[in-house]
Amino acid sequence: MKEEVKIRYPSYIKEFKCIGGNCSDNCCHGWEIHIDKNTFDKYVKIQNNIFDTDILENIIVRKNCKNPNIDYGQIKLNNETQCPFLCKDNYCSIHANLGEDYLSKVCTTYPRIINKIDDCYELSLNVSCIEAARIILLKEEGITFDYSRELISNNYVIAKEINTNTYEINDTNYKHIKEIRDKSINIITNRKYKLSERLFDLGLFLENVRRKLCYNYDNTVQFVDEYDIRSNKVKFQRDINDYMLQISFYKGILEKLAASKFFISDNFSEIIDKVMLGFKFTEDKSLIENSQIYLKAYTILDKEVFEPYSYIFENYLVNHMFKELFPFSENDIVYDGYIMMLVRLSYIKFFIAGYYLSDGKITIDNIIKIIQSLTKEIEHDETYLKHILTHIKEYELDNKRFAKILL
């Protein structure tokens, strides 16, 4: 069943088409595949002779189900950690034999992300899909947004939904999500400034927004509408030694990730090995002893990668901000969303630096693959990023000084 609705979407959305079995990083492998209750009930009625085995033998009912409309059941992966309904040609046998109507909401939706703010549906893509990542990140002209009215199926997962007109939302920070997010995206896409300067200015803007939300709530919208980054008297200046503080911070985070015996993507362990090797983390040396190597690498990358290809990182940020309802991506605290976005971006750059140190070079294809693979590992883990935010708060790093270090 479909209904006509108002949709907002980024400019890249109509360029995407799943390439199925030809994909270099199959999405039917390595992670939990949830089945909604409605789809599960359809499977109960299926004749057993359609598949080699009873379809229900490969599905379990989740005891810790959070929402029966999304994760009532879960497909049991085979010994190769693949979906058992994946054909030899890497196409879905459920889709081939029964049609799209028999796919679960999760399988129908991915890599699309659908949110709803008030009466408007928002459609975007997740860069954890390699095909989506290429389309999103390689748009040199940047990402813009359009509106339309279209028919949409009800067999999709709505990731986040906010109605700013309800009583529950009216006196919360979420009330101003649309205005704050749009202004934030405008700041990040202002190419009159370097990306690091834009991120710094975004922090100043959000710090002011935080004060308005706390002390002058009723004037927040007016402040956001009239805000002009040219009025900022504080300008960003990079301290190259901050890169050493970044490396120290991410070394511990990476080691916890590397300790995992299982990764979703087959090649992610290879990427981690390169990063560990590049930074010489396996050697019995302190970070200070290798500091000149690290700083030289970051200096070269700033000049040859991060600045000339800043549109890749800008596109990553804009896509994140739109699909995660920035700055409320973590909770209702504006600055938490900002800090964690910087954590994600500088973690990506940390991986790029380690990869470069290992190979002595890095290509655009390498960068896209690093962003896609890292996103797939950490964004689809329910606890990894939450633990990082908890760590940041425990050590009182949720402040402007730490934000500047991450830039």
Measured at the alpha carbon of residue 351, what is the angle toward residues 349 and 356, in degrees to the nearest 5? Answer: 95
Please return the burial class of 214, using the count of CB atoms within 10 Å of its CB with bins 0-12, 13-18 and 19+: exposed
Give the count of beta carbons closer than 10 Å to the beta carbon of residue 171: 9
pLDDT tens digits along 140-197:
999 999 999 988 888 888 999 999 999 889 888 999 999 999 999 999 999 999 999 9
Put the strands of the sheet holding 73-75 in their side by side order: 34-35, 73-75, 59-61
pTM of structure: 0.94
Which residue has better confidence, 274 or 231? Answer: 274
Burial 36-63 (b: 16+ CB within 10 A, else e): bbebbebbeebeeeebeeebeebbeeee
Q: What's the Cα-to-Cα distance from 258 to each of 64, 251, 262, 343, 377, rounded to whole Å?
A: 27, 10, 9, 18, 11
Every domain of the chain and the residues it spans? 28-109, 171-407
Q: pLDDT exceeding 90 applies to what percent of the chain?
A: 65
pLDDT (average), residues 42-51: 75
Question: Structure tokens of 54?
Answer: 């009873």
Contact present, 10 and 74 (Cβ < 8 Å): no
Q: What's the Cα-to-Cα distance from 343 to each of 156, 247, 317, 334, rounded to whole Å?
A: 30, 12, 12, 15
Q: pLDDT exceeding 70 applies to what percent of the chain?
A: 97
CA count, 13 A, side-chain hemisphere, 228: 3
CA count, 13 A, side-chain hemisphere, 146: 8
Q: How high is the pLDDT of residue 47?
A: 64
Q: Which residues contact 229 (CB under 8 A, 6 or more apart)?
A: 187, 190, 193, 201, 204, 205
Give the count of beta carbons closer than 10 Å to the beta carbon of residue 285: 10
In order, the DSSP letters of 226-290 are: H--GGG--------TTHHHHHHHHHHHHHHHHHT-S--SSTTHHHHHHHHHHHTTTTSS--TGGG
What is the spatial distance between Cα 299 and Cα 353, in angstroms, rounded to a whole number? 10
Gyration radius of the chain over CA positions? 22
Which of 134-138, 178-182, 285-289 shows the lowest mean pLDDT across its residues?
285-289
pLDDT tens digits along 48-97:
666 656 788 889 999 999 999 999 999 999 888 888 888 878 888 888 88
Measured at the alpha carbon of residue 120, what is the angle toward residues 73 and 179, in degrees to the nearest 5? Answer: 115
CA count, 13 A, side-chain hemisphere, 53: 6
What is the spatial distance between Cα 8 and Cα 144, in angstroms, rounded to a whole number? 11
What is the spatial distance between Cα 169 and Cα 278, in angstroms, rounded to a whole number? 48
What is the spatial distance between Cα 340 and Cα 335, in angstroms, rounded to a whole number? 9
Place of tokens 């990542």: 133
Phi-psi bin for 233: left (phi > 0), alpha (psi -120 to 50), beta?
alpha
- 269: pLDDT confidence band, cut at 50, 70 and 90? confident
pLDDT at residue 349 tops 70: yes
Contact present, 328 and 174 (Cβ < 8 Å): yes
